[in-house]
Amino acid sequence: MTEQQQPPRSHIKVVMVSIGTVIGMLLFVYYGLRPLYFLICEWTGITGSSFDQAEAQPFVVQEDRPIKVQFLALNNAAMSWQFHAVDSEVIAYPGEVVQVSYYARNASQRDMVGQAVPSLSPFEATGYFSKTECFCFNQQPLAAGEDAELGLVFQIDPDLPDWVKTISLTYTLFDVTGEMEVSLLD
């Protein structure tokens, strides 16, 4: 290097840029990475979990293509309700609007609130399985000893890949009593 006497360089500038990076990364985690994760989940449908309410479409029903749809119910951790599908399995034809229901009973001594989270398998079918009505769109309060029939109306898109013959839909029921109400439809 030719210069003999270097001018003193500003530490403040380096510190400011560094702290800016730190704050930028913090914001990036919250506003960048977190929404990106949910976007990718939605694009790929990999979680098999969709809370989107769809409108029933006027599809032509494919009578020659029976799809077996299985309904499962799971209780998360300490959730004490009785929870099961009324019919554990139905045959649905692509394009057809089908109505089924789940049954839940709060057998405990206290009033509780439940939230069901869907998961669909194989996940490739997630985008072709539209729910026009679903109890998973809202939280479900049940008083002590109360029971309820929980409705689900769905329609399978005829574009469903040919290799899908069976769809399994699992609802996991969470106890959200006393937790902040969070809208899942955002």
**Nearest approach, Cβ of residue 6 and another protein (Å):** 6
Find the binder of another protein among 56, 91, 144, 184 (CB under 8 A).
184
Binding-site member from 39, 46, 143, 144 for another protein (CB under 8 A): 46
Tokens standing for 24? 């930028």
Residue 29 sits in the site that holds another protein (CB under 8 A): yes
Report the nearest approach of another protein to the CB of residue 65 (Å). Answer: 26
Rule CB under 8 A: which of 133-172 touch another protein? Answer: 172
Residues 78-117 that bind another protein (CB under 8 A): 115, 117
- Given candidates 58, 77, 109, 163, which one binds another protein under the rule CB under 8 A? 77
Residues in the site for another protein, rule: CB under 8 A?
Answer: 1, 3-6, 8-11, 14-15, 18-19, 21-23, 25-26, 29-30, 33-34, 37-38, 41, 44, 46-47, 51, 76-77, 115, 117, 172, 174-176, 179-180, 182-184, 186
